[in-house]
Amino acid sequence: MISPKKISILGAGQAAAYASNEIRKHDKEIKITIFSEENYLPYERPPLSKDSLTGRKKYEELSFFSNDFYNTENIQIKNNTVEEVDFEKKILITNDAQSHTYETLLIATGSKNKMLNLGESEDDINNSILYLRNIEDSKKIKQAINTHNKFAIVGGGFIGLEIASSIAQLGKVAHIIEMGSQLMGRVIPHQIASLISDYHQKNGNTVFLNSNILSIQKQNTGYQIDLNNNKIDVDCIIAGIGSIANVDLFENTALKLDNGILTDEFCRTSEKSVFAAGDVANFFHPFYNSQMRLESYQHAQNHGIAAAKNMLGYNLPYTKIPWMWSDQFDFNLQLVGLCNNYDLEVQRGDNIEEGIIYFFLKNKKIIGACGVGIAGKIGRDIRLAGKISENKVTMDIEDLQNKKIKLNKFLKI
């Protein structure tokens, strides 16, 4: 096994931080450089829409590892945006016009927000819409919540709903505008989406489904939003309408792209000695025998670790079962495995208070599950659902529906 002497990491988020830590666990000598366009040490993003907005977690508490860690482990962080990558010459060019050669490169540039576009004539309004991706965005939204009362949240996906939940918890009101017929897209069972919609409304928010923005007018102190089915007056507009892989830098290069950077199960891209991990990678998953791109905390961490091992020559396929969560108010939503292409949906439990889970089965085998419950009510069963699906266990449907029968029974067969 021949390890490189020098590894460069483009991007300084979760995948990058955990990759650098993993490299150091295996090798104390390799030169590691992380290129970061943000002026913070790599930090976790989930609190940005939740505890950092409500004030339960300070922005200074979000770093994965301390400054001491990077110093002690001799991991160099360069606070420069990479503006160009020359894969042939193996060079990165940064915004200070410096060239940096790499031997092995990990691309971990994450994803970027889709933007609302109301047309050029509405540039004033376009520029005043807030988005959330990083600490600076979260600080701006926090400031807006301090100074305003009524918010339009455009997009009823995870991030929009988490911001709306934080707004309501701070005693303000969020009007959630969703163009689809349910919240959180079609992956989430509509029964769960509707329980969550009720929860928001019980806590003072409003939910507008099947709603498109026709126009936005600036008023003295805020905005009037004309929807196809309503009119809303708000003080501030925040959009969470989805994200895409952050690949602008590679558009005109030979690197193969398709909904992100295409990689195999070893995190290898189409370019020699170039790997990709986290949100930006559209990777091959051997268990599902298909390509997929995930935007989740746990995946970014595990994928970064897997990429590190493979850059060092371990040749280990990445086979983790997808898992993600969302926290809103006092409930927790979790998704494991795949929640599409199933032939049977099985419900266990019937309310948020006690926890409710939908299992998705194909040929009587669990391929995914989605659940929601007051904190702590569904975590164990979702974890077990992941293990059961990994073990390809044939299920007894009546037992699966029955909350009195513990799920670990299925792992003992």
Ligand X SMILES: Cc1cc2nc3c(=O)[nH]c(=O)nc-3n(C[C@H](O)[C@H](O)[C@H](O)COP(=O)(O)OP(=O)(O)OC[C@H]3O[C@@H](n4cnc5c(N)ncnc54)[C@H](O)[C@@H]3O)c2cc1C
Give the footprint of ligand X on this chain (CB under 6 A). 10-16, 35-38, 45-46, 48-49, 81-82, 108-110, 132-133, 159, 246, 249, 278-280, 295-298, 300, 324-326
Q: For residue 191, which amino acid is it?
A: Q
Query: Under a CB-based contact definition with an 8 Å cutoff, are residues 192 and 372 in contact?
Result: yes
For 56-68, b/e burial (b = at least 16 CB within 10 A) is ebebeebbbbeee
Long-range contacts of 152-155 (CB under 8 A, 24+ apart): 152/177, 152/223, 152/225, 152/232, 152/234, 152/236, 152/237, 152/238, 153/177, 153/238, 153/239, 153/240, 154/116, 154/129, 154/213, 154/237, 154/238, 154/239, 154/240, 154/241, 155/239, 155/240, 155/241, 155/242
Length of the chain in terms of residues written? 413
Q: Quick count: other Cβ atoms within 10 Å of Cβ 82? A: 21
**Dihedral in degrees, nearest 10, Cα atoms 300, 306, 312, 317:** -140
Query: Under a CB-based contact definition with an 8 Å cutoff, are residues 248 and 227 in contact?
Result: no
